[in-house]
Amino acid sequence: MSKQIFLTVLVILAIYACESNKKKETMQTENESPFAISSKAFGSLPSGQAVTEYTFANGNGMEVKIMDFGGIITSLKVPDRHGNVGDVVLGFDNLQDYLKEHPYFGALIGRYGNRIAKGKFTLDGKEYDLAVNNGENHLHGGLKGFDKVMWTAEIVEGELTAGLKLNYLSKDMEEGYPGNLDVEVVYTISENNEIKVDYKATTDKTTVVNLTQHTYFNLEGKGSENILNHEIMIKSSDFIPVDAGLIPTGELMPVAGTPFDFSKLTKVGEGINDDNAQIKIGGGYDHCWVLNKSGENTLDWVIKVVDPSSGRVMEMATTEPGVQFYSGNFLDGTLTGKDNITYPHRYAMCFETEHYPDSPNQPQFLSTVLHPGEEYKSTTIFKFSTIE
């Protein structure tokens, strides 16, 4: 082989190697996650079990932090209309405050979200007694619901998503509920500022299940006085009236002509002090709205929240038939949260997607019974954006 041919071959090989390396670098860039994912120790339970807080940032201004204790969303930062990022959920800076009594800040709720009258229900002819932890009624799963247990956590990544898969086995007769209930909840964070919450559960004995998520939102962020200037829209023609213990009376009531009509964007404060008897019972809004759905178990966009001050917008889609809108009536300034901020009356609000309260005792309501061989499935999405 002549020297010239040899040099030509070397040049060709060098060019090929360079192009090959470029392709590898491109493939690596394409396969890299767009998310910054991290975790850190967040203290220990009295038993000594370590608690971990996981952080997911998507590069578009959203950062979500979730604990494996209670599946709690501890922080949710999203940009306002000027691009300034702020935390829009209530919570605490340390685990010890989460271990004290608080109103379910950011937590997963189960086995049964909302209230069950007098802590009793009957299945297959057998009466079950639950903890009475809200006046004479049962609330949000009992004395140690899913908000107060350790979940097994695993980071999951997709091509354009990242999140946290949580698993928990609720044993037979835990908090009085029958059946070993195997529960999976997956929080998925997307590039377009969505948080998707997928719930699944199976049981080995007939039981009741109604899972939800209990984050308190204030889209203005810290420094605001309350959420009364937030505007909300709920696609609903009826709400469920309640008695003095906030237990459904069993009927549905049209929202038209009442302070419960949020069929178009309406300020929370517009009717919250109305003379309406239901408003007085709840001390504001603490009721379940019957959602206008396109079909049973369909994933429909049914809720919109706008904060005119910051320009932040939250939209919600759910497969659930109802949503409990709670206007923070029991916040009273006695709790100090993140950044040493005191949480006054109506400082934040919740949108708990769910089946109706007390359904196990209300046969006219949609069933919450889960049988062996069946799978409970539910999905809710929170999407954040801004307006000018």
Structure tokens at 340: 């040493």
Structure tokens at 195: 């948080």
pLDDT tens column, 167-203: 999 999 999 999 999 999 999 999 999 999 999 999 9
Residue 175's pLDDT is 97
Is residue 343 over pLDDT 90? Answer: yes
Structure tokens at 33: 């996650």
Residue 11's pLDDT is 46
Residue 223's pLDDT is 77
Indicate the number of domains in the chain.
Answer: 1
State how far the Cα of 189 lies from the Cα of 156, in Å rounded to an integer.
Answer: 10
Q: Looking at the domain assignment, is residue 19 inside a domain?
A: no
State how far the Cα of 75 lies from the Cα of 91, in Å rounded to an integer.
Answer: 7
Q: What is the CATH number of the domain that holds 247?
A: 2.70.98.10
**Dihedral sign of CA atoms 282, 176, 166, 355 in order:** negative
**Interior angle at CA 20, CA 15 and CA 21, nearest 5:** 100
State how far the Cα of 300 lies from the Cα of 316, in Å rounded to an integer.
Answer: 8
Total residues belonging to the chain = 388
The DSSP 8-state label assigned to residue 135 in this structure reads: T
Is residue 19 over pLDDT 60? Answer: no
Instruction: List the one residue out of 111, 42, 114 whose CA is nearest residue 72.
Output: 42
State how far the Cα of 115 lies from the Cα of 287, in Å rounded to an integer.
Answer: 11
Residue 30's pLDDT is 42
Is residue 50 over pLDDT 50? Answer: yes
State how far the Cα of 377 lies from the Cα of 348, in Å rounded to an integer.
Answer: 28
Give the residue numbers annotated as catalytic, written as ranges: 214, 352
Beta pairing partners, 326: 286, 350
Which whole number is the average pLDDT over 256-266? 98
Q: Looking at the domain assignment, is residue 311 inside a domain?
A: yes
Phi-psi region of 71 (alpha: psi -120 to 50; beta: other; left: phi over 0): left
- Which contacts of 119-123 are long-range, i.e. CB under 8 A and separated by 24 or more positions? 119/176, 120/361, 121/208, 121/360, 121/361, 122/360, 123/178, 123/206, 123/207, 123/208, 123/360, 123/369
Q: Looking at the domain assignment, is residue 15 inside a domain?
A: no
Q: Looking at the domain assignment, is residue 124 inside a domain?
A: yes
Is residue 12 over pLDDT 70? Answer: no
Question: Which residues have a Cβ under 8 Å from the Cβ of 372 and sit 6 or more positions away?
Answer: 179, 202, 203, 204, 205, 206
pLDDT tens column, 128-175: 999 999 999 999 999 999 999 999 999 999 989 999 999 999 999 999
Which whole number is the average pLDDT over 317-325? 98
* Pair 183, 165: CB distance under 8 Å: no
Q: Looking at the domain assignment, is residue 3 inside a domain?
A: no
Q: Looking at the domain assignment, is residue 17 inside a domain?
A: no
Q: Looking at the domain assignment, is residue 178 inside a domain?
A: yes
Structure tokens at 255: 């929202």
Q: How many helices (H) and strands (E) does the chain have?
A: 3, 27
178 φ/ψ angles, rounded to the nearest 5 degrees: -75, 150
Q: Which domain holds residue 304?
A: 37-386
**Interior angle at CA 133, CA 127 and CA 139, nearest 5:** 75
Residue 79's pLDDT is 97
Q: State whether residue 318 is helix, strand or coil.
A: strand
State how far the Cα of 104 lies from the Cα of 215, in Å rounded to an integer.
Answer: 8
Tell me what percent of the residues of the chain surpass a pLDDT of 90: 89
